[in-house]
């Protein structure tokens, strides 16, 4: 009878690649979804004018929204793949906290958001906080 | 509508984003651990699981999360919404401590403190980037991926 050994953990670069895949697909999904919602306009105002059906129609007829959701689905599968190879205690805090920083960078570059010192400080504080909480 | 400061209703939507995601995940976890093992050989059991009370409640909460998240993104910046709704992590930790009586290490208390300070910091600032009146908010995001002239 052989005693099963625990599966060896992937090396540094393989782990970094898996976590990077989650962060990149998640960031792309968040940015595309945010761009879609900005292109649609204030949902509260649309609902006030066209009702709930009108608001749902406005979201479901926006191609950018489906691009965003597709990337978020990819991020979910990348997370499942990483969890198959790496420990949850590494993947969850690393991906959750770093995604906040990459979103701040992507928001500034692609969405032209005003990421001032207040938002940078907040993103970094929450990033460290999420890491400490989930680790 | 002015977007520089949020109305009480908009704060309520941000609160829903913070609450619905962790509560939905908790309901799904509670529901799935109470079920017998599900295998690919019997996929119908997975469909039946959707109609159990905990999983049904979890799905409803996650739909509520996504709807309120999309609503928040329609009137606030992504770089405002994400840190502001990170307070859900703190709510889960506090529920675990005071409801489930789980111990919380010093590291986690430090995490709770940092997230609270971060959320308070971003919530005091403007929620939406002000753009010139001539610039259409509809046309702006379409420029994503295009090369700058």
pLDDT in tens, A33-80: 999 999 999 888 898 898 889 999 999 999 999 999 999 999 988 988
Pick from A45, A104, A108: CB nearest B1:
A45
Q: Which residues in chain B have their CB less than 8 angstroms from residue A34's CB?
A: 73, 77-78, 81, 141
- Between the alpha carbon of residue B52 and those of residues A117, B35, B44, B57, the distances in Å are 47, 9, 13, 8
Pick from A43, A45, A126: CB nearest B86:
A126
| Chain-chain contact of A121 with B142 (C-beta, under 8 angstroms) | no
What number is the average pLDDT over the span B86-108?
81
For B83, list phi and psi in degrees, rounded to 5: -65, -35
Of the residues A125, A128, A135, the best mutation for testing chain B's interface (the one with the most B CB atoms within 10 Å of its CB) is: A125
| Chain-chain contact of B78 with A100 (C-beta, under 8 angstroms) | no
| Chain-chain contact of B70 with A43 (C-beta, under 8 angstroms) | yes
pTM above 0.90, yes or no: no
Q: What is the pLDDT of residue B2?
A: 42
| Chain-chain contact of B114 with A132 (C-beta, under 8 angstroms) | yes
Q: Count CB atoms within 10 A of the CB of residue B66.
A: 16
Q: Count CB atoms within 10 A of the CB of residue A61.
A: 10
pLDDT at residue B58 tops 50: yes
Residue of B nearest to A104 (CA): B79
Q: What is the pLDDT of residue A6?
A: 58
| Helices A12-40/A43-60 angle, 10° precision | 120
What burial class does residue B38 get, using C-beta atoms within 10 Å of its C-beta: 0-12 exposed, 13-18 middle, 19+ buried?
middle
Pick from A107, A121, A124: CB nearest B77:
A107
Q: Count CB atoms within 10 A of the CB of residue A58.
A: 19
Q: Which residues in chain A have their CB less than 8 angstroms from residue B62's CB?
A: none
| Chain-chain contact of A126 with B118 (C-beta, under 8 angstroms) | yes
Provide the shortest C-alpha distance from residue A129 to chain B (in Å).
4
| Chain-chain contact of B75 with A42 (C-beta, under 8 angstroms) | yes
Q: Which residues in chain B have their CB less than 8 angstroms from residue A107's CB?
A: 77-79
| Contact by Cβ (8 Å): A132, B110 | yes
Beta strands per DSSP E along chain B: none
pLDDT at residue B28 tops 90: no
What number is the average pLDDT over the span A95-115?
89
Judge if ipTM > 0.90.
no
Dihedral angle over CA of B3, B9, B15, B17, nearest 10: -70
| Chain-chain contact of A103 with B82 (C-beta, under 8 angstroms) | yes
For residue B133 the two structure tokens come to: 């009146």
Provide the shortest C-alpha distance from residue A61 to chain B (in Å).
14
Per the prediction, chain B carries an average pLDDT of: 79
The number of helix segments (H) and strand segments (E) in chain B equals: 6, 0
For A97, list phi and psi in degrees, rounded to 5: -80, -40
């Amino acid at each position: 009878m052989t005693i099963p050994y625990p599966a060896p953990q992937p090396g540094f670069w393989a782990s970094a690649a898996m976590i990077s895949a989650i962060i990149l697909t998640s960031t792309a999904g968040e940015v595309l979804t945010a761009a879609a919602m900005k292109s649609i306009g204030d949902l509260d105002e649309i609902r006030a004018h066209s009702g709930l059906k009108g608001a749902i129609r406005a979201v479901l007829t926006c191609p950018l929204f489906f691009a965003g959701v597709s990337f978020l689905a990819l991020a979910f599968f990348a997370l499942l793949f990483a969890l198959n190879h790496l420990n949850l205690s590494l993947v969850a805090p690393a991906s959750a906290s770093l995604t906040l920083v990459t979103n701040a960078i992507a928001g500034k570059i692609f969405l032209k958001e005003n990421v001032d010192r207040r938002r940078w400080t907040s993103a970094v504080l929450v990033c460290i906080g999420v890491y400490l909480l989930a680790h | 509508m002015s977007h520089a400061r949020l109305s009480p209703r908009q704060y309520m939507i941000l609160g829903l984003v913070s609450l619905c995601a962790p509560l939905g995940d908790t309901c799904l976890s509670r529901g799935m651990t109470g079920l017998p093992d599900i295998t690919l050989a019997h996929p119908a059991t997975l469909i039946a699981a959707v109609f159990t009370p905990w999983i049904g409640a979890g799905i409803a909460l996650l739909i509520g999360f996504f709807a309120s998240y999309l609503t928040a993104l329609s009137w606030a910046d992504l770089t405002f919404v994400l840190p502001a709704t990170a307070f859900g992590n703190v709510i889960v930790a506090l529920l675990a401590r005071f409801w489930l009586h789980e111990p919380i290490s010093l590291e986690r208390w430090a995490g709770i403190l940092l997230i609270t300070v971060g959320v308070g910091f971003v919530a005091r600032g403007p929620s939406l980037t002000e753009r010139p009146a001539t610039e259409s908010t509809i046309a702006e995001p379409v420029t994503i991926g295009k090369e700058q002239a």
